[in-house]
Structure formats: C-alpha cells, structure tokens
C-alpha cells in the first residue's frame, strides 16, 4: 500500500515536470516567431533625400527659364522705323539731292538726301540749291514713275519727260561736284517709292 502511493506521487511529479518543459518550449517558440515576424525598421538613405531635393531644384529652375523665355518678345524691331529709312517719306513730297542712280533687277534706285532751295532772282524761274548735311539714303522708283528734267541735266529750260533708263544714263555721265549743284522735287507713294521726279532749272 505504501509502495503504491509512492509510485503515484512519483508519476505525478514526472507529469508536472513534463508540463513545465512543454510550457517553456511553447513560450520560447512564440517569442521566436514574434521576433521573426516583426518588420525591420525602414531607413531612408540620406543620398536618396538629397537626390530628390536636387531633382526638385532642377525642375523649378527649368520651369523658371521656360517662363522667362515665353515672356520675352520674339518680334524683331521694324527696320523701317530707324532714322533715315525711306519709309519715313511715304506719302510726302520732298526736295532732295541725288548723288547716284542705277538700275538693278529691272528697278531704278536713287541715293538721296533732303536739301533746301531758294528762288533765284531774274526773269526766268530758277532756283538756288542749298545742299543738305545728312547722310544719303537709298530709295527705289515705282514702275511707270514720271521723270521731268530741265537744264542743266535736261536739254531744255522747261521740264521735259525722260525715261528712267535715260535719266540713269545722264546721271552717270556727271561728276560728283556737278551733281552737288542739282536739286529735285520727289513725290513718294505709300510704300516710300518715288512716283514723280522733277529736276529744277538752275542758272
């Protein structure tokens, strides 16, 4: 009877120890699983942040440059607005000197500058030419322009019509000094081309 009780006690003790071992193993496994399944802390490299910042800065700079380019004017200034351009004489009548005349590609061109004139005393209407001081400008003659010449460039004291080709030929025969003493009334159309040219009789 005594032996039977001792065996029962020993068996109970063994069962208790086994239960403790199983419990410890279960807790250890759960802890290991928790450690394994826990996500590692994510760290962002400093170089990634710097690269993102640099890219953003470049994007801002490009956008600013594009905006500045869009705002800048793209139209070039009109060359006819410059001082001395033939366009300033459009639809006007001018008294001028002509220092040269030539034909290019079927069109007649003149080198002109403004001057002044004064009536000369005498029985015949004549003029004294007061040369201008500014630079010469190139103007073109319209097709069919009317040309009237008097002495000394023409053959008569009264105005007589000549062709553009004959006018150029007569101008080419004269010296610069001779041309300095000539004066012309010029009429310009809306495009700044000469539609009428008349030389003045000079004594």
Arithmetic mean of pLDDT over the chain: 73
- Indicate whether 109 pLDDT > 50: yes
**What number is the average pLDDT over the span 2-13?**
47
DSSP 141-180: EEEEEEEEE-TTTSSSSS-EEE-HHHHHHHHHTS-HHHHH
Residue that is written with structure tokens 């000369």 in the block: 120
Residues 6 or more apart in contact with residue 139 via CB below 8 angstroms: 86, 89, 109, 110, 112, 188, 192, 193, 194
Statement: the pTM of the whole predicted model exceeds 0.95: no
The residue behind tokens 């490299």 is 45
List pLDDT tens digits, range 127-160.
888 999 889 999 999 999 999 999 999 999 899 9
Residue 8 tokens, joined: 């029962």
Name the residue among 185, 187, 201 with its Cα closest to residue 128: 201
CB 139 within 8 A of CB 194: yes
């Amino acid at each position: 009877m005594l032996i039977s009780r001792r065996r029962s006690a020993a068996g109970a003790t063994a069962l208790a120890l086994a239960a403790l071992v199983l419990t410890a193993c279960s807790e250890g496994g759960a802890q290991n699983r928790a450690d394994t399944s826990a996500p590692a802390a994510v760290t962002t490299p400093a170089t990634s942040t710097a690269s993102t910042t640099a890219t953003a800065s470049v994007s801002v700079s490009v956008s600013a440059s594009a905006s500045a380019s869009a705002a800048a004017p793209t139209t070039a200034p009109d060359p006819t607005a410059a001082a001395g351009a033939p366009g300033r004489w459009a639809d006007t009548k001018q008294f001028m000197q002509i220092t040269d005349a030539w034909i290019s590609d079927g069109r007649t061109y003149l080198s002109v500058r403004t001057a002044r004139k004064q009536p000369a005393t005498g029985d015949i209407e004549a003029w004294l030419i007061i040369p201008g001081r500014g630079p010469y400008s190139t103007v073109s003659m319209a097709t069919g322009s009317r040309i009237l010449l008097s002495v000394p460039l023409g053959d008569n004291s009264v105005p007589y019509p000549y062709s553009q080709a004959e006018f150029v030929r007569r101008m080419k025969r004269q010296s610069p000094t001779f041309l300095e003493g000539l004066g012309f009334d010029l009429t310009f159309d809306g495009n700044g081309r000469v539609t009428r040219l008349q030389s003045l009789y000079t004594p």
